[in-house]
Structure 1
């Protein structure tokens, strides 16, 4: 079996899951079509992009894209907590999207009913071959009276509006990409795969919010991952993650805090073990440990022979020195396993 370093294994892993240029090009084209429809529906609005495509951390298969329209004061008049709910705005967006995209995408569906926050667009035509579809979440947002952040729809609460700041979120992520020479995005890609294969303890935005707190400069990927897991475990000790824009409420977890922290600590410990094995010249054992954190994209490795050789090594050395030390080494062997 070819023996690779942890660095190369992680490079191979991130390339295995990163979105292709073809997927990105088509997703961005469809996003532009949606942005055009929203500008026609809401003249004077500011279109913003968020989510994995905007943040530069999309993985393959690429299944969705996110965007929103910050409405002008004229279109937003009368809407907000204590005023009108978002439904008429969402319906206006739906009608514009159907009109402008329906001819190119005959199987297009645009859903408002039952949606909590955003208009759901189903293209009926995947971007990644073999996937069932490609979708978009399209938000109709209004300016917050304070001038900081937005009100976005939340049809599941009595006020029908929540405060958020997706524009600042994207700015923070893009700045992190520059500050870390894109290590931030590469780490997030790997973390999203870890999350998906370990019962999804965190939502994608929670991963990024925690990463913003601790990945602030270029560093090797193995170091970035260990830094994240160590920081995330400590950060969640006192409660859920705060909104990096200091506008919305804390970010909820997908499971209990204790269970999420246990998964983070387990990942951290396997990464440390992988590095210990590599430092001690056991690349297959290192690969085995790393594959526990990133299954599927880091191949499993059978380190049995390597570990047996490690155990046998002290005895071979003792035998070479002479029989007088064999007894002492035998007692060491009994303790080592």
Structure 2
């Protein structure tokens, strides 16, 4: 086994990341309102479809929502005792139209400017409440998935325009919640940071891809710095081999990337290089330079601002002085870092992700 450097002994990066992830957590008033609206949607769906069950999915259900909140996810599994819906039979349109009308009727008294969209949607009914939690700020929406059980296998049939796809969102939520429990909440905290990194760096992946990859490498309690190391290394290796398969082994196709796969892999490796260089600088005592690298990684001055330019220049001068005549050739370049394969060896990967 190839050994790699131990996680940084400096507490600066860990404390900075912890402060940053707190700043991007969904606000308590947004969270309370999201749950209220989600519960109202769930009640309307159960009333419209007796014997149905509802489930929650997405960032609120998984405990990794960012601020500002953009959407909430709600699903309903509708009984189909006569087996008239599903592939080769009726599509989801009738059920979606019934669900949409039930939601309009139930929520209109409280959200007078409510709109519910069905036509042309790939998977979900889109609800626009048009009632922002904070006046003057964008309001979040809701995505509602109408599903039926798959009588011939695991999971559900969920809409794909006028047809059906196989998926298992209920299992996904169980898997994520178990990971949160197994890691003493660190899974959710690391995922939140990664989702923000993704959002501020061109969104190369969808949020579910981030979480699916994290299920394979964030499997025990770890710090934020180490967790980010593990994820970037693991994600780069996995995506280099191919797109991410469904962790529940139900969806027939892997999770699609938003950019070409080689480009995404290069972005993962660059991010890992930046993070490891920040760790090296912190371990050498150049914490301002380390924070400057960390700010480069997240690319968001509101979430994690760069140190002042003057402070960075002073510490650059100190480092050059400390390194003597060799400083000019070494500073400014990423440090020698362990390979992503060696980082991968540190974690017991989930069998589904191997």
Q: Over aligned residue pairs, what C-alpha RMSD do you find?
A: 1.6
- Asked if 1:223 corresponds to 2:226, the answer is yes
Which secondary structure does the structure 2 equivalent of 1:23 belong to? Answer: helix
- Asked if 1:97 corresponds to 2:103, the answer is yes
**Structure with the greater alpha carbon radius of gyration:** 1
For the residues of structure 2 that align with 1:295 and 1:14, how far apart are their CA atoms? Answer: 14
The alpha-carbon distance between structure 1 residues 128 and 61, as it changes in their structure 2 partners (threshold 3 A), is farther
- Where structure 1 has 5 or more consecutive residues not aligned to the other structure, the ranges are 316-329
For the residues of structure 2 that align with 1:293 and 1:334, how far apart are their CA atoms? Answer: 23
The alpha-carbon distance between structure 1 residues 28 and 336, as it changes in their structure 2 partners (threshold 3 A), is closer
2:286 to 260, 282, 286: 282
For the residues of structure 2 that align with 1:266 and 1:288, how far apart are their CA atoms? Answer: 15
Structure 1 equivalent of residue 182 of structure 2: 179
For the residues of structure 1 that align with 2:327 and 2:101, how far apart are their CA atoms? Answer: 75
User: How many angstroms does 1:313 deviate by?
Assistant: 2.8
Question: How many residues are aligned here?
Answer: 316
The alpha-carbon distance between structure 1 residues 279 and 173, as it changes in their structure 2 partners (threshold 3 A), is same
1:213-250 CA-to-partner distances (Å, cap 9, x unmatched) read 00001111000001000000000111100000000020
Tell me the TM-score normalised to structure 2 length.
0.86
1:50-100 CA-to-partner distances (Å, cap 9, x unmatched) read 0000000001111211011111133x7301110001100000001100111
Structure 2 equivalent of residue 273 of structure 1: 277
- Where structure 2 has 5 or more consecutive residues not aligned to the other structure, the ranges are 1-9, 332-354
1:161-210 CA-to-partner distances (Å, cap 9, x unmatched) read 00000000000000000000110110111101110111111000000000
- Asked if 1:144 corresponds to 2:150, the answer is yes
Which runs of structure 2 are paired with 1:184-333 in the superposition (5 Å)?
184-248=187-251, 249-296=253-300, 297-301=303-307, 302=309, 303-313=312-322, 330=325, 332=326
For the residues of structure 1 that align with 2:182 and 2:13, how far apart are their CA atoms? Answer: 24
- Asked if 1:21 corresponds to 2:24, the answer is no
The alpha-carbon distance between structure 1 residues 147 and 311, as it changes in their structure 2 partners (threshold 3 A), is same
Structure 2 equivalent of residue 115 of structure 1: 121
Moved over 6 A (4+): none
Structure 1 equivalent of residue 92 of structure 2: 86
For the residues of structure 2 that align with 1:262 and 1:289, how far apart are their CA atoms? Answer: 18
User: How many angstroms does 1:132 deviate by?
Assistant: 2.7
8 A Cα contact 2:45 2:99, kept in partner: yes
For the residues of structure 1 that align with 2:102 and 2:13, how far apart are their CA atoms? Answer: 50
Tell me the TM-score normalised to structure 1 length.
0.90
- Asked if 1:58 corresponds to 2:61, the answer is no
Which secondary structure does the structure 1 equivalent of 2:16 belong to? Answer: helix
8 A Cα contact 1:143 1:149, kept in partner: yes
The alpha-carbon distance between structure 1 residues 259 and 334, as it changes in their structure 2 partners (threshold 3 A), is closer
Which secondary structure does the structure 2 equivalent of 1:209 belong to? Answer: helix
User: How many angstroms does 1:336 deviate by?
Assistant: 4.7
1:284-310 CA-to-partner distances (Å, cap 9, x unmatched) read 010011111112212112321111111
1:35 to 42, 53, 68: 42
For the residues of structure 1 that align with 2:145 and 2:92, how far apart are their CA atoms? Answer: 10
